[in-house]
Structure 1
Amino acid sequence: MSENYIAIDWGSTHLRAWLYRNGQCVDSLQLSYGVSRLVEQTAREVFDKYIEPWRKREALHVVMAGMIGSDAGWQTVPYLACPVSLHELSAQLYEVAPLVWIVPGLHTSRNVMRGEETQLLGAMQLAPASCYVLPGTHSKWVRVANGAVSDFSTAMTGELHHVLMSHSLIGKGLPEQSEDPAAFQAGLQYGLDSPSLVTRLFEARALRVLGELAPESVSEWLSGLLIGAEVAAMDAVENVTLVGGESLCRRYRQVFEKAGVTVSEIAGDTAFQQGIRSILDARR
C-alpha cells in the first residue's frame, strides 16, 4: 500500500484529518462537523467538500475511525465482538466509497466503543500494557491479554461533569471557573474515599454555599470527585497506561498516583496515527 494516505478521526463533535505523503504528515485539518453537528449536511457531503480536494492529485487511500461508523455517521459498521485481536481490524475494514474505509468498533455483552480501538492498536505497539485507560467524555478502561482486547468498561465521567455544571443546581449561577489544584485534590480524595456518588454530589453545592469552596473552584472540585470515584469504582490495578490528551491525562495521573497505581502515558493522537499506519501496513 502507498505511503500516501489520509487518516481521519471522525467523532461526535469534531472531524480531524491528516494527509500523509511518503509516510510524513504534510497537512491536517480540524472541523466542528462531528456526526452530531453536520448541520443539514450528510457525512459524504462534508467529506467531498473538505477531504476530497486532497485526493485530486491521486486516489489516496482513506481510513476513518470513530462515530462516523455509527448509525448517525456515514454508514453503520458492525462491531467486532470481544475478546478480539486488534490485528483483525485491517481485515474487517468497511468500504463506503472507492479506497475509503471505516474501522469497525468493538463490543462486549454490555458495552461498545468506536474510535478507541484504533488508538488502542497504536498504543499496544508503542506502549505495551495489560490495562489501558482512555480518559474522555466517556472514559474507557480496557483489559488486554495476549495481544487481544479481552474486556472493557465505560465511565461517563466527562459527560456527567458537563451535565452537572451546565444543567443542575450545582452549576447554577456560578462565576467563570478557574484552575484550582487544591480544590481538585480535595475533590479527588472525596471520590477515592467514597466512590458511591449519590450522597456526595450535592456537597459540591453545599461546600460552596457554606463558604468552604470558592465559587470559581466548583468545577475543579467536582472534576476531582468524579475522576476519583471513577478510579475507586473500577477493579483494582497495579499499573495502567493512559492514552489521551495531556491535560486530562494529567488529572488522571494525579488520581492514580494517590491511589498507589503506577502510571505511564502516551498521547492519544500519537496512538491513533500509529494505529492507522498499522492497519494500512497490514493490508499491503
Structure 2
Amino acid sequence: MVNANARLVGLDWGSTSLRAFLLGPGGVLIEERSAKQGSTAMNGSAAAYESTLAQIAGDWLAAAPALPVLACGMVGSKHGWREAPYAACPAGEQQLAGGFVRVTAAGREIAIVPGMSCRTVGSAPDVMRGEETQIVGALAQRPDLAGACTFVLPGTHSKWAHVRENQVIDFATYMTGELFAVLRGHSVLGRLMIDQDEPDDDSFAAGVRAAAERTALAHQLFAVRTLGLFDELKPEALPDYLSGLLIGHEITAGLRERYIAGGEEQPLVLVGEPKLCALYESALHIFGSGVEASFPNTAPAGLWRLALEAGIVTGTEESGT
C-alpha cells in the first residue's frame, strides 16, 4: 500500500535507465525504484512508455488515483514520450515549470519537464535534459549557491553550467564518458588494457597531469598505447591513465570557460554518482581548484521544487534532502 503521506511520483527517465521516486511532504523521499528501461529502449512508443510506467510505479498509482506524476530527462526528447521544447538560457525554475508538456496514460496526466538549450555568439547550440532538474534540486538544498556558482555534472555527457541569480546562464557539454567507452572498447588503445577491481589512483593522476600540459589531445591519446608498449605503464593501469587524460582535458576546457564567464572565484559544485564525483574532485585539486560541495542524486529534490513552482503540489515546505 502506498504511504498515506505520498504527494508526488517523480521520474528521472534517462536514455539507458529509469528511476522512480515516491515523494512525501516537503519532497521527502519515501521510496525509490530503478529499471533498465531507459528512453532508448522505448523507441518512441507511447505504449511502451505507458507499460513501463505501470511496471515500475503501477501499485503507487493504483493506490492513489489523484497522485500527480512529473518526469524529467530524455522522456521529453524528440524521440521520447512527447517532445518538451527546450527552455532557452538564461532559464531557471519559472521557465522550466512554465514549459511543461503533458501526456495522458490510463486516464492520468503526466507532466514532462523541458530541457535547456544555450547558444553563445559564434558557437554551436548546446542542450541538456535531466541535468537542469538536478541543478534545481541542488540549489533547493543549498540556496546560498544560487547567486553565482559553476555546476559540474560528470557522466557520459558531462555538463559544466554557470549559474547566476538562480538561473543557468549558459553551459557546455563534454562527451568525456562516451569517449572513454568508445576508445576503451573500440580502438587500438584498448588492446593492451586489462581491467582491475581497484582503481589505480597514481595512473589516473598521471593522466590528469599530462592533460594539464595542454598538449593536443589527439597526440596524447596515442601515448596511452606507447606507454604500454614500452612497459612504462602496466596494462591494468592504462584505463585509469586514459580516464585521467580525458577528464583532465575536460577540466582544462571547463576552467577556461569558467574564467571567461567571470566565475573564477565562484564556488564549484559537483552533482552525480559519488565515485565519479570523487574522481573529478581529485582531478580538480591537481588543477588547484577546490570543490564547494558534492551532491549525489538531486533529481527528487528538483522534481519536487518544479512541481511546487508549477502548482502540481502545494505547500511551503522546502525540498527534502
Does the alignment pair 1:134 with 2:140?
no
* Contact 1:13 1:33 survives alignment (8 Å): yes
Q: Match of 2:194, as an amino acid?
A: P
Does the alignment pair 1:13 with 2:28?
no
Name the SS for the 2:80 alignment partner: coil
CA distance in 2, matches of 1:25, 1:137: 26
CA distance in 1, matches of 2:74, 2:141: 24
Q: CA deviation at 1:49?
A: 2.8
* 1:229-253 deviations in Å (ceiling 9; x for gaps): 1111222334411111111111111
Match among 233, 244, 249 for residue 277 of structure 2:
249
- Give the corresponding residue for 2:140: 125
Does the alignment pair 1:103 with 2:107?
no
Q: Match of 1:49, as an amino acid?
A: Q
- Give the corresponding residue for 2:317: none
Q: Match of 2:190, as an amino acid?
A: G
Q: Match of 1:211, as an amino acid?
A: D
Unaligned ranges ≥5, structure 1 = none
* 1:46-81 deviations in Å (ceiling 9; x for gaps): 112322321111221111110111122211111111
Does the alignment pair 1:279 with 2:306?
yes
* 1:205-257 deviations in Å (ceiling 9; x for gaps): 11011100110111100010011111112223344111111111111111111
Q: Match of 2:177, as an amino acid?
A: G
* Contact 2:149 2:268 survives alignment (8 Å): yes
* Contact 2:159 2:172 survives alignment (8 Å): yes
Name the SS for the 2:292 alignment partner: strand
- Give the corresponding residue for 1:152: 171
Q: CA deviation at 1:195?
A: 5.5
Name the SS for the 1:36 alignment partner: helix
* Contact 2:102 2:111 survives alignment (8 Å): yes
* Contact 1:123 1:266 survives alignment (8 Å): no
Counterparts of 1:1-284 in structure 2, within 5 Å, are 4-22=7-25, 23-38=27-42, 42-59=48-65, 60-97=67-104, 98-109=108-119, 110-127=125-142, 128=145, 129-172=148-191, 174-178=193-197, 179-194=199-214, 196-234=216-254, 235=256, 236=259, 237-238=264-265, 239-269=267-297, 271-282=298-309, 283=311, 284=314
* Contact 1:195 1:228 survives alignment (8 Å): no
Q: Which has the higher contact order (CA 8 A, sep 6+)?
A: 2
CA distance in 1, matches of 2:63, 2:24: 12
Q: CA deviation at 1:196?
A: 2.7
Distance 1:102 1:195, change over 3 A: farther
* 1:157-190 deviations in Å (ceiling 9; x for gaps): 0100010000000012533334101100111100
Q: CA deviation at 1:88?
A: 2.6
* Contact 1:19 1:28 survives alignment (8 Å): yes
* Contact 2:93 2:306 survives alignment (8 Å): no
CA distance in 1, matches of 2:271, 2:61: 31
Moved more, 196-205 or 234-243: 234-243
Tell me the C-alpha RMSD between the 2 structures. Answer: 1.9
Name the SS for the 1:250 alignment partner: helix
Q: Match of 1:34, as an amino acid?
A: G
* Contact 1:174 1:216 survives alignment (8 Å): yes
- Matched pairs, number: 282
CA distance in 1, matches of 2:280, 2:137: 20
